[in-house]
A and B are shown apart, each in its own frame.
Chain A
Amino acid sequence: MFYREAGQYKSTYSADMAVFPLKQDRIGIAVILLLAFVGVPLIGNDFFTTTVMIPFLVFSLAAIGLNILTGYTGLISLGTAAFMGVGAYACYKMTTLFPGVNIIVLILLSGLFSAAIGVLFGLPSLRIKGFYLAVATLAAQFFLQWAFVRVPWLFNYNASGAIEVPLRTVFGVPVTGATATPETRYFVCLCLVVVLTWFASNIVHGRLGRSWMAVRDMDIAAELMGIKLLNAKLTAFAVSSFFCGVAGAMMIFLWYGGGEAADVFNIRLSFNILFMVIIGGLGSLIGSFFGAAFIASLPTILKFGLPAIGIPLAGATAEHVTFMLVGALIIVFLIVEPHGLARLWQIGKQKLRTWPFPY
């Protein structure tokens, strides 16, 4: 009734090709952005901002990165966490060498290092596919994590092997380091994620994205149509790793605020992001956000939210209950909709369109 396209005519090609062709969708996006930029800082307290919202944004970006590779190009990667780590260490080295440069610029630049490493480890994808490629990217995970521990130059010869995030200001406001307020860090994360999501959306809807999807659906057919597999696969690795690298730099600099970084980027993180992509929905940007909310934020919300609404859970019990609940929910959602939360969202929208007279 409210969600209907009747009367919305498209009179130009650009209107027809718009990412959000419906007026209601555009209003929805505006409301979400308004909530994110104004609502969360106004309503949420520090605890909510730092433990729910910032991790959600970081993981969303990483999930978008992996989705470009796995969802759009059909290449499975288990090295996501390692590529994130490259971003984090690159950012740390750069801010040590060039302390005067704007830290947000450095966070974005560190994605380029990650992209380069990603291309390097993406080379085997030209020869191998599927599970075999997953094993090849696993090598990236192990090798890079080994390097994070073993190459002391990467962590500035720190005795405990930890990254220490220094104070960096942008326009006089501390953005990283201990004095940066949760709100500032949240804003920086949000701006980066919004801009990069807009970027990703344009890429996947454009020529490059279409060539990726052609490769995903059938690479021989794509090759016969004139798509160069080498270019398509390696750009997918590069763009994907770029997003992961930026997410990794954000993770250490804007969320953790330093600490033992090598262990953070472990194989479990790689798997978690793969689960986010699968549960959120392969080949869907909004699915990446759903997946991140489900896998990363839901356990935290359950663990601290259940006691807050009066269910007396504490310590290890809360942890066990959260574990079981999230596990059960994963199974439930996959039974209800094997194509992920993004597909559920689509079905929901379709039902709304015909409501209250379904046909």
Chain B
Amino acid sequence: MNTKTMMMGAALGALMTAGAAVAPAQAQDSIYFANNAYRTGPFSGSGIPIGDGMRDYIAMINARDGGVNGVKIIYEECETGYDTKKSIECYEQAKSKNTVLYSPWSTGATLAAIPRAHIDKIPILSMAYGLSASADGTNFPWVFIPPLTYWDGASGMVRHMANELGGMDKLKGKKLGLIHLDAPFGKEPIPVLENLAKKYGFEVKLYPVAAADMQNQGSLWLSIRRDRPDFLYNQGWGAMNPTAVKEAIKNNFPISKLVGVWWAGGDDDARAGGPEAKGYKSLNFNAAGTNFPVIQDIIKHVVDKGNSLSPKDKVGENLYNRGVYNSMLVVEAIRTAQKLTGKKVITGEDMRRGLESLNVDEARLKEIGMEGFATPTKISCTDHSGHSKMYVAEWDGTKWTKKSDWIEPLKDEVRPLIEAAAKDYAEKNTGWPKRSEACEKSS
């Protein structure tokens, strides 16, 4: 061992000590918000546009309005690579920097963080992903899952099938295939689909895709060819989605019968199929395109000034806009929390109250330049999702278009399941606390 290696060892030692002292860097007149992102790894294809959208909306609010009611938002990304281990590190870092909100961006990370949220007093916003049962505010006061849960999505898929076939009674005897990632995220819709299948007399076939085989679905599509399902629902993410689209085309499965969950609705997912992907569908709750004042403002204040990480032609893509929508919820919740507490700089506990009273109605959507971009969402003390509406988007070969009207989820079917699952979760996790947080008067 020579001197050089000794020096290197000393340098590493110094780093070790530095690592111990990740100091909270929060200024007094700003709000710190940590967001998990994955710009690396097999899910980066989906993660990059989402991260860009989230980042740019916050940057636009800071640049155009000088923050929320004059308080700047310090937005920081923590790279997870969609890896649960790294997500836990990111959670710990966000906690040490006093984030007002944890934005896990993967179902695995959400599941790992849920038990800690109420102890660390950090609300979790898992926008249309995560644990469906957490829509029950009575058992999960710190977790929010607007505007929809995966269970709502699955019921929306069933309604879409019925619409195509011409009525709920026509579902009898039909076959619905579910291609899903073999992980908590992919398995989420199964209980609801099985429940609805029993009720309406259709059959559910499961086609699990292991995370290691996302780009290798050949054998799975052989089974699909054998079973000939009438519809396919794709609960996929990352590299799995473009592969599914390509395989559907290769195997002559009618592409218009393949419907993705909202996370399978990336522009690049559909583009991978080439011109034949025309007609591929996905559930959606935000509009694609740049024809909205909010996107124009982002282009004017952020993209044109060179402050965006996104190439200009990707601004307004479906997943980009979804990121914008997520940041909009965050900003609106901060605003609500400021109004409720009368404070300018809010804490995680205030943020929880803000999220619980979040009410983005039609008028508010118009004010923030999002008319027609999404439907109103209202969260209440007991309902942490809002179970808002979704629509079916169709790929026209170059962009996503709105194919159907707004579809309401089968809330009467889903809600009892959610409450039962939430109760079950609280019982299995011995020591799960009873809700002690008071409800707001307004909600």
Chain A interface residues toward B at CB < 8 A? 43-48, 50-52, 55, 99, 149, 156, 159-162, 164-167, 174, 177-179, 255-260, 262-264, 266-267, 298, 300-306, 308-309, 314-316, 318-320, 332, 336-337, 344, 347-348, 351
A324 to B23, CA, bound (A): 25
Q: Are B111's CB and A319's CB within 8 A?
A: no
- Tell whether A166 pairs with B429 under 8 Å between CB atoms, given A45-B96, A316-B79, A336-B1: yes
Chain B interface mostly helix, strand, loop or mixed? helix
B401 lies within 8 A of chain A by Cβ: no
Q: Are B20's CB and A263's CB within 8 A?
A: no
A174 to B119, CA, bound (A): 13
Q: Are B1's CB and A99's CB within 8 A?
A: no
A51 to B93, CA, bound (A): 9
Q: Are B430's CB and A99's CB within 8 A?
A: yes
Q: Which of chain B's residues 96-146 have a Cβ closer than 8 Å to chain A?
A: 96, 107-109, 111-112, 115-116, 118-119, 131, 133
When distances are taken between beta carbons in the complex, the residues of chain A under 8 Å from B88 are: 50-51, 255-256
Q: Are A336's CB and B5's CB within 8 A?
A: yes
When distances are taken between beta carbons in the complex, the residues of chain A under 8 Å from B173 are: none
Can you identify 26 A-B contacts, CB atoms within 8 angstroms? A43-B20, A46-B92, A46-B96, A48-B22, A52-B19, A160-B111, A162-B184, A164-B428, A166-B430, A167-B430, A174-B431, A178-B116, A256-B84, A258-B111, A260-B108, A260-B183, A301-B18, A301-B19, A303-B89, A304-B93, A305-B16, A306-B15, A308-B18, A315-B77, A316-B39, A336-B5
Q: B93 is contacted by which of A47, A298, A301, A344 (Cβ under 8 Å)? A: A47
A337 to B2, CA, bound (A): 11
| Number of interchain pairs (Cβ within 8 Å) | 164
When distances are taken between beta carbons in the complex, the residues of chain A under 8 Å from B21 are: 45, 308
Q: How large is the interface on B (under 10, 10 to 19, 20 to 34, 35 or more residues)?
A: 35 or more
Q: Which of chain B's residues 1-28 have a Cβ closer than 8 Å to chain A?
A: 1, 5, 8, 12, 14-16, 18-23
B410 lies within 8 A of chain A by Cβ: no
B230 lies within 8 A of chain A by Cβ: no
When distances are taken between beta carbons in the complex, the residues of chain A under 8 Å from B430 are: 99, 166-167, 177
- Tell whether A305 pairs with B19 under 8 Å between CB atoms, given A47-B92, A166-B429, A167-B430: yes
When distances are taken between beta carbons in the complex, the residues of chain A under 8 Å from B182 are: 149
When distances are taken between beta carbons in the complex, the residues of chain B under 8 Å from A260 are: 84, 107-108, 111-112, 183-184
- Tell whether A300 pairs with B19 under 8 Å between CB atoms, given A167-B431, A257-B115, A260-B84: yes
Stretch at the interface among B62-70, B186-194, B333-341, B346-354: B186-194
B85 lies within 8 A of chain A by Cβ: yes
Q: A48-B19, A257-B112 are in contact. List 9 more A-B contacts (CB 8 A).
A: A46-B96, A51-B92, A177-B430, A256-B112, A257-B116, A263-B211, A304-B22, A305-B15, A315-B78
Q: Are A263's CB and B188's CB within 8 A?
A: no
Q: Are A305's CB and B131's CB within 8 A?
A: no
A33 to B236, CA, bound (A): 48
Q: Are B187's CB and A159's CB within 8 A?
A: yes
B438 lies within 8 A of chain A by Cβ: no
Chain B's nearest CB lies how many Å from the CB of A34? Answer: 17
Chain B's nearest CB lies how many Å from the CB of A337? Answer: 8
Chain A's nearest CB lies how many Å from the CB of B84? Answer: 6
Residue in B18, B81, B421 whose Cβ sees the most chain A Cβ within 10 Å:
B18
A287 to B112, CA, bound (A): 31
Complex A-B, nearest 5 residue pairs according to Cβ-Cβ distance, in ascending order: A167-B431, A305-B19, A160-B184, A316-B39, A259-B112
Chain A interface mostly helix, strand, loop or mixed? helix
When distances are taken between beta carbons in the complex, the residues of chain B under 8 Å from A300 are: 19, 89
- In the complex formed, the residue of A with least CB distance to B133 is A159
A309 to B15, CA, bound (A): 8
Chain A's nearest CB lies how many Å from the CB of B429? Answer: 5
When distances are taken between beta carbons in the complex, the residues of chain A under 8 Å from B78 are: 315
Chain B interface residues toward A at CB < 8 A? 1, 5, 8, 12, 14-16, 18-23, 37, 39-40, 76-79, 81, 84-85, 88-89, 92-93, 95-96, 107-109, 111-112, 115-116, 118-119, 131, 133, 182-185, 187-188, 190-191, 208, 210-212, 421, 425, 428-431
When distances are taken between beta carbons in the complex, the residues of chain B under 8 Å from A178 are: 115-116, 118-119, 431
When distances are taken between beta carbons in the complex, the residues of chain B under 8 Å from A315 are: 37, 39, 76-79
A149 to B116, CA, bound (A): 25
- Tell whether A258 pairs with B115 under 8 Å between CB atoms, given A263-B84, A316-B79, A319-B79: yes
Q: A318 is contacted by which of B79, B84, B96, B190 (Cβ under 8 Å)? A: B79
- In the complex formed, the residue of B with least CB distance to A347 is B1
A316 to B187, CA, bound (A): 29
When distances are taken between beta carbons in the complex, the residues of chain A under 8 Å from B212 are: 266-267
A302 to B429, CA, bound (A): 35
Q: Are A320's CB and B40's CB within 8 A?
A: yes
A156 to B425, CA, bound (A): 12
Q: Are B15's CB and A301's CB within 8 A?
A: yes
A256 to B116, CA, bound (A): 11
Residue in A166, A179, A258, A259 whose Cβ sees the most chain B Cβ within 10 Å:
A259
A319 to B183, CA, bound (A): 24
A174 to B108, CA, bound (A): 24
A56 to B131, CA, bound (A): 30
Chain B's nearest CB lies how many Å from the CB of A229? Answer: 34
Chain A's nearest CB lies how many Å from the CB of B74? Answer: 11
Q: Are A316's CB and B40's CB within 8 A?
A: yes
When distances are taken between beta carbons in the complex, the residues of chain A under 8 Å from B18 are: 301, 305-306, 308-309
When distances are taken between beta carbons in the complex, the residues of chain A under 8 Å from B429 are: 164-167, 177
A59 to B85, CA, bound (A): 13
A255 to B112, CA, bound (A): 10
Chain B's nearest CB lies how many Å from the CB of A171? Answer: 16
- In the complex formed, the residue of B with least CB distance to A163 is B111
Chain B's nearest CB lies how many Å from the CB of A97? Answer: 13
Residue in B79, B81, B131, B212 whose Cβ sees the most chain A Cβ within 10 Å:
B79
When distances are taken between beta carbons in the complex, the residues of chain B under 8 Å from A303 are: 79, 89
- Tell whether A47 pairs with B96 under 8 Å between CB atoms, given A159-B187, A316-B79, A344-B5: yes
- In the complex formed, the residue of A with least CB distance to B109 is A259
A206 to B1, CA, bound (A): 31
- In the complex formed, the residue of A with least CB distance to B94 is A47
Q: Are B79's CB and A258's CB within 8 A?
A: no
When distances are taken between beta carbons in the complex, the residues of chain A under 8 Å from B92 are: 46-47, 50-51
Residue in A177, A255, A332 whose Cβ sees the most chain B Cβ within 10 Å:
A177
Q: B112 is contacted by which of A258, A347, A348 (Cβ under 8 Å)? A: A258
Q: Are B15's CB and A302's CB within 8 A?
A: yes
Chain B's nearest CB lies how many Å from the CB of A88? Answer: 13
A43 to B19, CA, bound (A): 12
- Tell whether A298 pairs with B421 under 8 Å between CB atoms, given A47-B96, A258-B112, A266-B212: no
When distances are taken between beta carbons in the complex, the residues of chain B under 8 Å from A257 are: 112, 115-116
Q: Are A263's CB and B1's CB within 8 A?
A: no
When distances are taken between beta carbons in the complex, the residues of chain A under 8 Å from B191 are: 159
Q: Are A263's CB and B183's CB within 8 A?
A: yes
A25 to B175, CA, bound (A): 70
- In the complex formed, the residue of B with least CB distance to A160 is B184
- In the complex formed, the residue of A with least CB distance to B425 is A164
